[in-house]
Amino acid sequence: MSPDTPAFVEPVHVGRPNIADPDAFLELVQGAIDRRWLSNDGPLVRELEGRIADLLGVKHCLAVTNGTIALELAIKATGLTGEVIVPSWTFIATVHALQWHGITPVFADVDPETHCLDPESVRSKITERTSGILAVHLWGRAAPVDALQELADEHGLVLLYDAAHAFGVSAGGRKVGTFGRAEVLSFHATKFFNALEGGAVVTDDDDLAQRIRLMRNFGFAGEDTVVSEGTNGKMSEVSAAMGLSNLGGLDDLIAVNRRNFDAYTRRVEALPGLRIHGVGEGSNFQYVVLLVDEECPATRDDILAALRSNNILARRYFWPGCHRMEPYRTLQPSAGAELPVTERLAEQVIVLPSGTAVSEADVDVICDVIERVLQPTAP
């Protein structure tokens, strides 16, 4: 291959949507058009909620417009105030959802093995102003649910999970969706399970579910009775149609993700200073995270540049860490000093393309590009 010819003619994306059954989707959309019922607690949304609740084994699934609104509703409805402990090593939405509601996000560090919250770091951040912990099951790997629950119980804190990466994931024989006071899902186009845009709060708590049900619809309890604060978080029927048409394909999708994950792992194992972040059994294998260690002959950014010049649009999620993004960078300028693992990971990570749009042969080509960057250049 000449240096001017990229390995791929068309861009290869990290977040190419998985679409299990386009015909089923179109048929469901046609049904919504025929019914002229497009939003506001429609039949497709209700069906989706019921099927997700059954699948996860939770009492309530409240479908909403996106994962960020789901986070905000969970934060508001559980009455979080003051300070909430959260990882900086996450997508910015986790942290913004707190700040947006006037809550101070207090950053705790993550475990270098799991990339999820380190319970000891969480413990060290608890003050009298702490009202809760917002943990993240990052990269489709469950957070340390037992240790976090113990901490929450010990200190009387609300424990919420951002499970945007963890639909279909289980830990210790339990499905993600059943932990903490409530969990938040994202059904964004780039996610393991997508509903175009969409999200949900899942919980076993009847009162909490009822509060969120009201809040996502402006607080309406009847045609002209408003009983609480609220917003517009209602999922559309078109989104629910995409969700329903994708639900049947989840096992196949895990198999494809697993195949790609294993193919990357086999190739990367043979390369110096590189490894694929382990997500454990029970993952959805949606994210393939390449870690560039210090002994690697190339830097993370050299590898990323080589990938991108070959039309492989890998990402350095979640560089530089939320604490280094605004407004947190200005509000908490010294937060990084207590986040050594986060700071290190932010310099190490490349998320590689996977999902149904990426074949095993594509994985080989991507790994060839990575391998070539590591080779010493002729003097």
Q: Are strands 349-352 and 288-292 parallel, antiparallel or unpaired?
A: antiparallel
Residue number, 126 or 163, with CB nearest to ligand T4K: 163
Rounded Cα distance between 87 and 342, Å, is 9
- Provide the residue count of the chain: 379
Residue number, 6 or 31, with CB nearest to ligand T4K: 6
Residue number, 116 or 291, with CB nearest to ligand T4K: 116
Stretch that binds ligand T4K, among 108-116, 183-191, 252-260, 365-373 (CB under 6 A): 183-191
In the complex, the smallest distance separating the C-beta of residue 317 from ligand T4K, rounded to whole angstroms, is 6
Q: Name the phi and psi angles at 48, rounded to 5.
A: -60, -45
Rounded Cα distance between 224 and 217, Å, is 12
**Residue 18 is a binding residue for ligand T4K (CB under 6 A):** no
Stretch that binds ligand T4K, among 40-48, 53-61, 65-73, 113-121 (CB under 6 A): 65-73
The binder of ligand T4K chosen from 83, 162, 237, 362 (CB under 6 A): 162
**Residue 312 is a binding residue for ligand T4K (CB under 6 A):** no
The binder of ligand T4K chosen from 18, 78, 88, 90 (CB under 6 A): 90
In the complex, the smallest distance separating the C-beta of residue 66 from ligand T4K, rounded to whole angstroms, is 4
**Residue 233 is a binding residue for ligand T4K (CB under 6 A):** no
**Residue 313 is a binding residue for ligand T4K (CB under 6 A):** yes
**Residue 325 is a binding residue for ligand T4K (CB under 6 A):** no
**Residue 103 is a binding residue for ligand T4K (CB under 6 A):** no
**Residue 190 is a binding residue for ligand T4K (CB under 6 A):** yes
Strand partners, 104: 83
**Residue 93 is a binding residue for ligand T4K (CB under 6 A):** yes
**Residue 68 is a binding residue for ligand T4K (CB under 6 A):** yes
**Residue 13 is a binding residue for ligand T4K (CB under 6 A):** yes
Residue number, 66 or 354, with CB nearest to ligand T4K: 66
**Residue 91 is a binding residue for ligand T4K (CB under 6 A):** yes
Residue number, 291 or 307, with CB nearest to ligand T4K: 307
**Residue 342 is a binding residue for ligand T4K (CB under 6 A):** no
How would you write the chain as a 3-class SS string?
CCCCCCCCCCCEECCCCCCCCHHHHHHHHHHHHHHCCCCCCCHHHHHHHHHHHHHHCCCEEEEECCHHHHHHHHHHHCCCCCEEEEECCCCHHHHHHHHHCCCEEEEECECCCCCCECHHHHHHHCCCCEEEEEEECHHHCCCCHHHHHHHHHHHCCEEEEECCCCCCCEECCEECCCCCCEEEEECCCCCCCCCCCCEEEEECCHHHHHHHHHHCECCEEECCEECCCCCECECCHHHHHHHHHHHCCHHHHHHHHHHHHHHHHHHHHCCCCEEECCCCCCCCCCCEEEEECCCCCCCHHHHHHHHHHCCEECECCCCCCHHHCCCHHHHCCCHHHHCHHHHHHHHHEEEECCCCCCCHHHHHHHHHHHHHHHCCCCC
**Residue 311 is a binding residue for ligand T4K (CB under 6 A):** no
Residue number, 147 or 189, with CB nearest to ligand T4K: 189
The binder of ligand T4K chosen from 67, 233, 243, 282 (CB under 6 A): 67
Residue number, 192 or 261, with CB nearest to ligand T4K: 192
Q: Which residues bind ligand T4K (CB under 6 A)?
A: 13-17, 66-68, 90-91, 93-94, 136, 162, 164-165, 186, 188-190, 199, 313, 317
